[in-house]
Structure formats: structure tokens, C-alpha cells
Amino acid sequence: MTDVSQTKLALVTGASRGLGFAMAAALAEKGWHVLATARTVGGLEELDDRIQAAGGSATLAPMDITDDKAMAHLAGSIAERWGRLDLWVHAAIHAAPLSPAGHLDPKDFDKSVACNLRATASLIPMLEPLLRATQGTALFLDDPRGGEKFFASYGATKAAQIALARSWQAECEKIGPRILIETPRAMATATRARFYPGEDRTVLADIHDEATRLLACL
């Protein structure tokens, strides 16, 4: 791993595509060392190529955030190597196909719960000590579509994730770490294309522009 003892350290979960990819690339461009986590190895390699070409540095961690043992190993490795974490950007998401609530696919719903809620609940206690060591920041990305028609799996589990983050935010207000919850603008991502096929994508925000805007909130 790169020696980043004097460099800010960011963990981006869900870094292989979409806004997570853009956030990781933008952080590296600003001089952060990025720990990039995702299941898609090809996407992580593409990210690393982009970061290296821009003169940045990254450590790739191809793993599934729903695998508690793998994520605990990652957290332990960060603690052993650096003893801290300055930023956690939680961009990993399972976007189940849209479906009426009366026709939910149990497998898709279980995947949504596992990724969007259960993994978040596991990661918070793993990463809190590392973030608190440097009074770091955790950034959650809200998508307030809970309760909209056909968004039962995605909307309900994403809303539950943010409710969990808000509880953590309230608990840490005086003692840290800092918990930020921001709502990205509608972006031209593959996930949105699945939700809204045929939509005019020219009016949507670019993921890299949105990453820059959100990082200004840090």
C-alpha cells in the first residue's frame, strides 16, 4: 500500500461506477489517498487508471460490502496501517428493478435490505473508531423516493439507511465524527436510466460536476 502518513485518507464504498466513481476520482485529484471498494473489479481498475493518469493515488479493495468478514478485515487493515480514516463516502447501493409493492421479488428485496441497510448498520461500528481518531467525516447520499409508486424495494431501504445515518448524526453531534447527509441532483447514471428509460438525459447533471459540488460541502 502507498505510504500516506501525511495524506488525507478517504474510503469510498461503491466506487466502481456512477457518483461513487466520480467522488473517488475527484478526491484523488485533490490529493487524497482513496481506498476504493466495490464488487466490480473492472470498474475499480478503470478508476485506478484515471487516478494514476491524473497523478493521484488509490488502493483498490474489490469486495462486497455485504460480506461482514471482508469489511471487518478491511477496517482492521486500515487501523493497523494508518490508525485513522479522514472520510467515508458511502455510495454503494442496490437499485432493485421497479415493481408494484404487491409484486415484489423477495430476492431483490432481500438484496436491497442486505446492501442498503444491513451493510450500513455493520459498517458504522466498524468505521466509527477510525473516523473518530481524526474527527473525520462520513458522507451519506440521500435519495428521497421512499413512498413513491414502484419504488418499494429501493425507496424503503434507502429511506431506512438515511434514518440510520440521521440517528448516528444526532448521537455524534458533540463527540464526532461529523456525519453529513446530502441529496445529489438528478444525474445521468446507469441506475437512473433503468428507473426512467427514455428520459431526456441532456437535462441531467454530470456525475463529475456533481461530485465537485458535493465535495465542497466537506
Condensed to tens digits (0 to 9), the pLDDT of residues 166-178 reads: 999 999 999 999 9
Sign of CA dihedral 129, 60, 54, 46: negative
| Whole-number pLDDT of residue 4 | 57
| Whole-number pLDDT of residue 1 | 44
Cβ burial, residue 213 (10 Å; 0-12/13-18/19+): middle
Taking 80 as the threshold, does the pLDDT of residue 206 lie above it?
Answer: yes
| Whole-number pLDDT of residue 110 | 97
Condensed to tens digits (0 to 9), the pLDDT of residues 54-74 reads: 999 999 999 999 999 999 999
Contact 6, 85 (CB under 8 A): no
Model-level pTM? Answer: 0.95
Q: Binning pLDDT at 50, 70 and 90, where does residue 212 land?
A: very high
| Whole-number pLDDT of residue 84 | 97
Share of the chain above pLDDT 90, in %: 93
Share of the chain above pLDDT 70, in %: 97
Average pLDDT over residues 126-147: 96
Average pLDDT over residues 181-208: 93
With cell 435519495, the residue in question is 143
| Whole-number pLDDT of residue 5 | 59
Rounded Cα distance, 150 and 155, in Å: 9
Going by their DSSP bridges, the two strands 178-182 and 9-13 should be labelled as unpaired
Taking 80 as the threshold, does the pLDDT of residue 189 lie above it?
Answer: yes
Rounded Cα distance, 164 and 144, in Å: 14
